[in-house]
Chains A and B, each alone.
Chain A
Amino acid sequence: MNSEKTTKLILFFASLIVIFILFGMVFSLIDGAVPIFKKFGFGFLFSSKWNPTEGHEAYGALPFIIGTLVTSIIALLICFPLAFSTSLFIGEYYKGTKLAKLVGTLVDMLAGIPSIVYGLWGFYVLRPIIIDLGFNDQGYGIFTSGLILAIMIVPYSTSISTEIISMVSKDLKEAAYSLGATRKDVILNVIIPNASSGIFTSYILAFGRALGETMAVTMLIGNANKIPVSIFDTGNTMASVIANQFGEADGLKLSALIAIALLLFLISGIVNGIGKIVIKKVY
């Protein structure tokens, strides 16, 4: 056996590790979720009951699925104008200048702040503002969580959009300028059509990030196991219910939380997958 082959074999075996981890993960999640699906069937996905009292146990994932989707969509809606403007600022208006670099660094720093620090900041700074504005009494809720999520995902969509926007060819832009187009015309009619799928992907990936965020949301959403009736109502997301209820969970409740984790894994996997496919098709 020569060393050449040994090296290649070692590398190959190393690559098996990621496959092992992923399949082991899926297996463990499915294995842990089996009891709850045996008991409630797929009704688990559509039920909104959450009652851990022994003898009356009933679990449903619907409030958390809705909570996750609604918070993430709110985050995406708030994130969109911010990230879009910032990426134009860095990638078009001040492309290559020191100012763009500074703004880019500041936005990157947003990505570096730990989730729990966002949670604290949201709790002590954002929540009082929400209360003062009179949206709701406690300041907790779907909207507050969506707002903090928006700040958290802005750097992800900004960095991808910026890259795509600054890649739009100079010739195209100059041709438009020579026809008398203003900068606004160039952005709306040249840059956006050329960069649209990349920009779209950047939001898909940001959305995927928002789905799985745990700590900041747990601290701000109010942790109510019910379907929220308005965006200022309290609720729970899939990630936050796991973080909240895990400590006292065993038996069927633990199984319910694992099933929620499995769902979260699938949903964020699908969203990220769509993003990756779109970006691969384009580039």
Chain B
Amino acid sequence: MSRKNNMLKQKKINARILKDKIFSGVIFLFSFITISPIIFIIINLISKGYKQINLSFFTETTPDTYEAMVAVSNNKIIPGGILNGITGSFLMVSLASIMAIPIGILIGIYLYENSSKRYANIVRDITDILQGVPSIVLGLISYFWVVKNITNGFSALAGSTALAIMMLPLIIRSTEETFKMIPGTIKEAAIALGVPYHKIIFRVLIPTGFSGLLTGILLAISRIIGETAPLMLTALGSMKVSFNIEKPISAVPLLIWEFYNDPNMVNLIWASSLFLMIFVLTLNLLSKYIVQRSI
């Protein structure tokens, strides 16, 4: 009798172990499915894009459709490159950084200094709301504010305004988080020495939290550099290299969108996407590296 009981118990235990194993198996399977797209995307971009990457890809502007068509029909690689996109992205991201980083850091410091004030909480909530605004809405806003009222036409300034509004909340939050991690004693020591407040900011807080700030900035840039939708509504795109902030300008993601819409340029899509992805991932990894080194 007791033997039978034991066997029954053993059976139950085995069933439970089996269920546990199936459960783990499902978890592992789904985890594998989750990471497979990134591997596929990277393999896809590299295998389709590497052919077009050469020196002229970085030093020449986009070819027109006809040139591309001739090259494709002769089975050659498409001449020209994405220089206009690279310079445009560079200009707009730099402008956006100039607008967003100083203000973002100031606001971050304000939140850090007044962390428990009611007004600071409101500012923090508003920052969160801004961070959640879809990028296309920001593009529309920049269209109204800059394209219609300031530059009277699509412009690099409008594009960078949209990017700056996107960047601002990211910088604010990362600044606040960085300064929160700095030991209060360092600041108190400076106060005890009678250092004026603006010097504490520039000589104590910013140097101590520098790696944190830099990480936040790099992540914010990596977030905005791939943005396409707001730029379609503001910067529009251009076939020439331009540094005029009042004129339409191109950007790497905008060029990808143009190539996508032009059947002759398809081959350039992959190279440009590969370039953009490598750039973004490098920024990401770099910021991770900085965080790890500073800890």
Contact = CB atoms under 8 A, between A and B. Distances in A.
A121 B38 CA distance: 11
Interface string A102-142: 01011111101111111111011100000000000000000
B188 interface: no
Interface stretch (A4-12, A37-45, A49-57, A221-229): A4-12
A110 B123 contact: no
Nearest to B42: A109
Contacts of A93: 24, 27-28
A208 interface: yes
A82 interface: yes
Contact of B226 (A22, A115, A154, A269): A115
A219 interface: yes
A123 B145 CA distance: 34
A121 B44 contact: yes
Interface in B203-251: 222, 225-229, 232-233
A248 to B, nearest CB: 13
Residue of B19, B35, B106 with highest tally of chain A CB at under 10 A: B35
B195 to A, nearest CB: 11
A103 B31 CA distance: 8
Nearest to A118: B41
B39 A106 contact: yes
A17 B103 contact: yes
B130 interface: yes
A7 B113 CA distance: 12
A28 B136 contact: no
Interface of A, secondary structure class, is helix
A32 interface: yes
Interface in A247-283: 247, 257-258, 261, 264-265, 268-269, 272-273, 276
Interface size class of B (residues with CB under 8 A): 35 or more
Interface in A1-50: 3-4, 6-8, 10-12, 14-15, 17-19, 21-22, 24-25, 28-29, 32
B188 to A, nearest CB: 16
Contacts, number: 226
A242 B110 contact: no
Contact of A116 (B16, B44, B226): B226
Given A28-B144, A86-B34, A108 B123 contact: no
Interface of A: 3-4, 6-8, 10-12, 14-15, 17-19, 21-22, 24-25, 28-29, 32, 81-86, 88-89, 93, 103, 105-110, 112-121, 123-125, 151, 154, 158, 182-185, 187, 208, 211-215, 218-219, 239, 242-243, 246-247, 257-258, 261, 264-265, 268-269, 272-273, 276
Contacts of A258: 140
Contacts of A257: 140
A262 B260 CA distance: 29
Residue of A18, A184, A185, A212 with highest tally of chain B CB at under 10 A: A18
A121 B27 contact: no
B109 A120 contact: no
A28 B141 contact: yes
A7 B111 CA distance: 14
B132 interface: yes
B88 to A, nearest CB: 15
B284 A108 contact: yes
A202 B226 CA distance: 24
Contacts of B35: 86, 103, 106-107
